[in-house]
């Protein structure tokens, strides 16, 4: 297996793990006791009309959490597919890999500011895998 493929496969698996842990721990995880429970109850209790629908801040919080899980899952699939494409011409995939690497660095900064260290580490490792896939991409060998 060539190196860009390997790095993209690792990024894919890490992104899928990130998605599963985000979904289990974040989206469907139990809300803690004390102030966390009070905040969650306040988010659930106060309904308002948003774009013609009755919603709560809990609906937005929960829905955005699910959206992140969905996108992480599909990014894992895309990274796996990019790995398959990288077998024949990884060099042409550099712009796509660079876009995702920048996005994962931005996600890491967001996670550092608003969440906690675990997702920061995973997102930086995923970004590093993408950068390594870019760095190890070689021009396609020409057949003679």
Please write the tens of the pLDDT for every residue from 41-96: 999 999 999 999 999 999 999 999 999 999 999 999 999 999 999 999 999 999 99
Measured in whole angstroms, how far is the alpha carbon of residue 64 from the centre of its chain? 13
Quote the pLDDT of residue 1. Answer: 73
Q: Is the pLDDT of residue 124 over 80?
A: yes
Q: What percent of the chain stands above pLDDT 90?
A: 93
> Quick one: DSSP state of residue 115?
S
Q: Is the pLDDT of residue 143 over 60?
A: no
Residues 5-18 have pLDDT tens digits of 999 999 999 999 99
Quote the pLDDT of residue 139. Answer: 79
pLDDT bracket for residue 144 (50, 70, 90): very low
pTM above 0.75, yes or no: yes
User: What residue segments make up the domains of the chain, in order of their start?
Assistant: 3-26+64-136
* b/e map 19-45, b = 16+ CB within 10 Å: bebbbeebbeeeeeeeeeeeeeeebee
Q: What is the mean pLDDT of residues 26-49?
A: 94
């Amino acid at each position: 297996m060539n190196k860009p493929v390997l790095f993209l496969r690792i990024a894919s698996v890490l992104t899928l793990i990130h998605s599963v842990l985000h979904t289990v721990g974040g989206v469907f995880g139990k809300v803690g006791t004390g102030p966390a429970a009070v905040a969650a109850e306040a988010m659930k209790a106060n309904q308002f009309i948003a774009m013609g629908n009755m919603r709560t801040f809990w609906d937005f919080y929960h829905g955005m959490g699910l959206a992140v899980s969905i996108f992480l899952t599909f990014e894992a699939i895309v990274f796996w597919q990019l790995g398959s494409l990288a077998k024949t011409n990884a060099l042409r995939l550099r712009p796509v890999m660079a876009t995702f690497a920048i996005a994962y660095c931005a996600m890491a900064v967001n996670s550092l500011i608003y969440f906690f260290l675990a997702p920061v580490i995973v997102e930086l490792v995923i970004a590093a895998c993408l950068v390594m896939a870019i760095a190890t991409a070689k021009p396609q060998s020409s057949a003679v």
